[in-house]
Amino acid sequence: MRILLPCLATLILNAQAPVPLGRMTVQPLVDGTLSLEASLLKDIPPAEAVGLLGGRKAASTPVNAFLVRMPGRTLLVDTGMGKDPDVDSGHLLTQLAAAGLKPDQVDMVLITHFHFDHVGGLLRPDGTRAFPRAKLCVSRTEHDQWTTKAGLPERLWDRIPKVKAIFAAYGKDVTLLGDGATPAEGVTALAAPGHTAGHMVFAFRSEGKELWCIGDLIHFGAVQFARPKTGIVYDLDGERAVASRLDFFRRAAAAQAVLAGAHLPKLVRIVPEGEGYRTVNVD
């Protein structure tokens, strides 16, 4: 295993090529990887889940941020985990550099929700801003929940100081978003509640092309596209998460939107098939 680690590091240093969509480009920046056990899935027979995972009981899952370049504007969706000594993580800024950008060239950071693997890269280890010039756009619902604790599970309370430190560091550059807000031209914030109360999807449009950064609307690509009613224990409100997933998948298929999931290994479009969808990779 120790011998393999340098190889993995080398792979991660190479950012994936940007994918053009109209006048914008999107590029996954892999901050790290997590192993997710199939037993985290709900409402699916375990044998069926393992079967859809090709016989594996766990899936090695990327933690993605997405670099979106639009005319005159550079945006980032989510920021990965930051450096965690226990897992392969904290590669976001290296990936950004491999894409030819310095942190102060990022104009806006959009956050799908406040779980640690999405906000972990907003601050440097010394507590200063990782993106010194960027506007920080987050769901108002998510912000209010994390700052008042209302409806926030007690198991997450110990993370509140970290979230408050983020808001303090970004200060006047924080913008709170409601459903349908347009933080920038060609970008719409859409409420997609369930995984968390304020979980959001960000829809980017350019010349008729659609890119939807869907955060944690889905964790197991090999299972939950084919069986979208399958939940995961991380969903705060399982029923709402399923309803959001079904709604966004139906609309994404109709719009032929490119889906960028925080834990999906590929950019994909989806096509209805059986009780769910099949994926078509977008390279």
**Which of the ranges 2-10, 117-125, 131-139, 252-260 carries the binding residues for Zn ion, by CB under 5 A?**
117-125
Distance of CA 239 to the CA centre of its chain: 20
Question: How far is Cα 36 from Cα 207, in angstroms, rounded to an integer?
Answer: 37
User: Rule CB under 5 A: which of 128-187 touch Zn ion?
Assistant: none
Question: How far is Cα 106 from Cα 201, in angstroms, rounded to an integer?
Answer: 20
**Which of the ranges 26-34, 187-195, 236-244, 261-269 carries the binding residues for Zn ion, by CB under 5 A?**
261-269
Question: How far is Cα 57 from Cα 149, in angstroms, rounded to an integer?
Answer: 35
Closer residue to Zn ion (CB): 222 or 262 = 262
- Cβ count near 231 (within 10 Å): 22
- As beta bridge partners, residue 175 has 137
* Structure tokens, 256: 């032929």
**Which of the ranges 75-83, 191-199, 243-251, 259-267 carries the binding residues for Zn ion, by CB under 5 A?**
259-267
* Structure tokens, 64: 């993605």
85 CB-near residues (< 8 Å, 6+ apart) = none
In the complex, the smallest distance separating the C-beta of residue 3 from Zn ion, rounded to whole angstroms, is: 29
- Cβ count near 162 (within 10 Å): 17
Closer residue to Zn ion (CB): 48 or 237 = 237
**Which of the ranges 18-26, 122-130, 180-188, 209-217 carries the binding residues for Zn ion, by CB under 5 A?**
209-217
Positive or negative: CA dihedral 81, 83, 87, 89: positive
216 binds Zn ion (CB under 5 A): yes
235 binds Zn ion (CB under 5 A): no
78 binds Zn ion (CB under 5 A): no
- What phi and psi, each to the nearest 5 degrees, are found at residue 176? -95, 135
Closer residue to Zn ion (CB): 210 or 216 = 216
- Cβ count near 14 (within 10 Å): 10
117 binds Zn ion (CB under 5 A): yes
**Which of the ranges 6-14, 164-172, 220-228, 254-262 carries the binding residues for Zn ion, by CB under 5 A?**
254-262
Closer residue to Zn ion (CB): 88 or 117 = 117
In the complex, the smallest distance separating the C-beta of residue 262 from Zn ion, rounded to whole angstroms, is: 5
In the complex, the smallest distance separating the C-beta of residue 143 from Zn ion, rounded to whole angstroms, is: 18
In the complex, the smallest distance separating the C-beta of residue 20 from Zn ion, rounded to whole angstroms, is: 26
- Cβ count near 188 (within 10 Å): 18
Residue count, binding to Zn ion (CB under 5 A): 3
CA-based end-to-end distance of the chain = 30
In the complex, the smallest distance separating the C-beta of residue 263 from Zn ion, rounded to whole angstroms, is: 6
31 binds Zn ion (CB under 5 A): no
Contact residues: Zn ion, CB under 5 A: 117, 216, 262
